Chain A
């Protein structure tokens, strides 16, 4: 019963947002250029970020799960840290590193690259906050695989790549899928680091969360419509996560 209070705290605002949003003319608001652009930008950037997380995060997670080396705990903590860090800190860190006057700024400028206030910056911010979720989940997934599965493949004649691709990757498929879902929802919802590092330029860096924040002051109808889209999208992803985790428990 006491727990219900918390559920009400979660659910009531969500219900009210949906109530208001749908009560207004949802379709016309969601098809305004501002809303559509934010939606498109969010989908594209979050999918690219996700691709980067998977491409670089999978080998990292595999290495962390299997090899024992000096400084391992340090590296693990480092990759976990952004999970608990406020995104604003991530924004500051990214600016100080890659900003025009940041540590690598002049060097990047020589190459004609300016990262802040670009779509690339949006993606960097998303990767920064989302990758730890993926790496952590995938690492735990790889680590949970009994070593006999791998050793059997080894005596059967498999090399390191064959063991990874034919044995370990399929066996860790479910945790990896969980990691993908978590990272994707995190990237979709990313706000703080983005607004600091990538700004709020319509069509360039104004993703859904930013459009909601800004739009709420000017045109709250669009903000409401986008909120509903975001709630639905993230909600479905989290539901999918539940299904995946339920299934892996059954095995």
Chain B
């Protein structure tokens, strides 16, 4: 049942004469039981957006609604939200048990019910025997697990997480996020997860909201974000991308010395051509083939990353299957199989060859 809507949400810091717009006209809808990631570079306003949902920041404009009811006038301690921060999450002067029981005690639940619920939530995060420890006696990963348990024990309508695993090492980060996702699926809880790590967002989210400079760039499923970035920013920010300067005229786009087909709707004007490193195929020399000298080959397990110095296009990055023979210093010829044409602020045209 719980849904979350951010409607034309705006937050301005600073003075009237020198305003800092942290969040600008943000529209995000989170469906019941959905796991939504807010993704963007440092300083793009992710935390500010989340903090307005939790009630720590007052919006300068717009609305936040849970189940279609505005909550902006509700104090944070009355909102049906729970939050997990990146650090300083557990109160160091309380044992794990007391950390988790804190909210339940405030609600004057009977002692035996508190005991049961604390134990159940500790077991949910795999720390059934840790109730008697102090936070300082836990590892960073265990501390974040307890923080999640504490957030969940109150059965919030919306779970908010602000880079909860950013302080952990890579391996632990992957394990914890998968555990979190599993718990979230089982409980069918609506969650908003803020991260600057695109891999984290792509692997976790039902949908991703990509932000840049306070504005929403795109709100879509991970696969769509990757395959059909709506803006140049998203194309550049998500995954690896070859960004080339081109010029459209009469159904073709000129890139360096090459000519590629362009849809009739393209206007005759400069354009940015975006090609994913995997959207190329190695070919024979001939009509329409691109060429260049291989400057670097890295073996990445099931594929190879190859840097190619092209005489007219500069350095290109290609992902090639292992079946293709490539060697440092040799010439290579290839063709793009799929690319995007960006013109101005409009969504790009996709071309498949």
Q: Is the CB of B76 within 8 A of A171?
A: no
Chain A binding surface, main DSSP class: helix
CB of B49, distance to nearest CB on chain A (Å): 15
Residues of A144-166 at the interface with B, using a CB-CB cut-off of 8 Å, are 146, 148-149, 151-159, 162, 166
How far is B78's CA from A154's CA once the two chains are assembled, in angstroms? 9
B150 within 8 A of A: yes
Q: How many residues of A contact B (CB 8 A)?
A: 19
A23 at the interface (CB under 8 A from B): no
Contact A157 B107 (CB under 8 A): yes
At the interface, yes or no: B68 with Cβ under 8 Å from chain A?
A: no
User: CB-defined interface of B33-54 with A at 8 Å, one 1/0 digit per residue?
Assistant: 0000000000000000000001
Note all chain A residues with C-beta closer than 8 A to B102: 153, 156, 158, 166
Note all chain A residues with C-beta closer than 8 A to B150: 156
Quick check: is A83 within 8 A (CB to CB) of the other chain? Answer: no
| Chain B contact residue count (CB 8 A cutoff) | 25
Chain B positions 76-121 with a Cβ under 8 Å from a chain A Cβ: 76-79, 81-83, 85, 87-89, 91-93, 102-103, 106-107
- Residue of A whose beta carbon sits closest to that of B75: A154
> CA of A251 to CA of B150 in the docked complex: distance in angstroms?
23
The answer to whether B89 touches A148 (Cβ under 8 A) is yes
Contact count A vs B, C-beta below 8 Å: 60
Return the contact of A146 from the options B55, B76, B77, B88 (Cβ within 8 A): B88
Q: State A208–B82 Cα separation when bound (angstroms).
A: 56
A164 to chain B, nearest CB (A): 13
Whether A170 pairs with B93 at a CB distance below 8 angstroms is yes
* B233: interface (CB < 8 Å): no
A86 to chain B, nearest CB (A): 40
A167 at the interface (CB under 8 A from B): yes
Interface of chain A residues 165 through 179 with chain B (CB within 8 A):
166-167, 170-171, 173
Whether B92 contacts A171 by the Cβ 8 Å rule is: yes
Among residues 121 to 161 in chain A, which have CB atoms less than 8 Å away from a CB atom of chain B? 146, 148-149, 151-159
Residues of A within 8 A of B76 (CB): 151, 154-155
Q: Are B92 and A251 in contact (CB under 8 A)?
A: yes
Partner of B106, one of A146, A157, A171, A251: A157
Q: Which residues of B contact A173 (CB under 8 A)?
A: 93
Interface centre among B56, B77, B150, B154 (most CB of A within 10 A): B77
> Would A155 and B54 count as touching, CB distance under 8 A?
yes
B106 pairs with A162, CB closer than 8 A: yes
CA gap between A148 and B83 in the complex, in Å: 10
**Taking the nearest CB of chain B, how far is it from the CB of A249, in angstroms?**
14
Once the chains are docked, how many angstroms separate the CA of A16 from the CA of B87?
53
The answer to whether B92 touches A157, judged by C-beta atoms less than 8 angstroms apart, is no
Cβ-defined contact, B154 with A149, below 8 A: no
How distant is the Cα of A121 from the Cα of B244 in the complex, in angstroms? 83
What are the residues of chain A within 8 A of B55 when measuring CB–CB? 154-155
A151 CB contacts on chain B under 8 angstroms? 54, 56, 76, 83, 85
Contacts from A to B (Cβ < 8 Å): 146, 148-149, 151-159, 162, 166-167, 170-171, 173, 251
Given contacts A156-B77, A171-B91, 7 further A-B contacts (CB under 8 A): A155-B77, A156-B103, A156-B106, A157-B107, A157-B154, A158-B106, A170-B93
Give 23 CB contacts A-B under 8 Å. Answer: A146-B88, A149-B88, A151-B85, A152-B85, A152-B91, A153-B91, A155-B76, A155-B81, A155-B82, A155-B151, A156-B77, A156-B82, A156-B106, A157-B77, A157-B78, A158-B77, A158-B102, A158-B103, A162-B106, A170-B93, A171-B92, A251-B92, A251-B136
Chain B positions near chain A (C-beta within 8 angstroms): 54-56, 76-79, 81-83, 85, 87-89, 91-93, 102-103, 106-107, 136, 150-151, 154
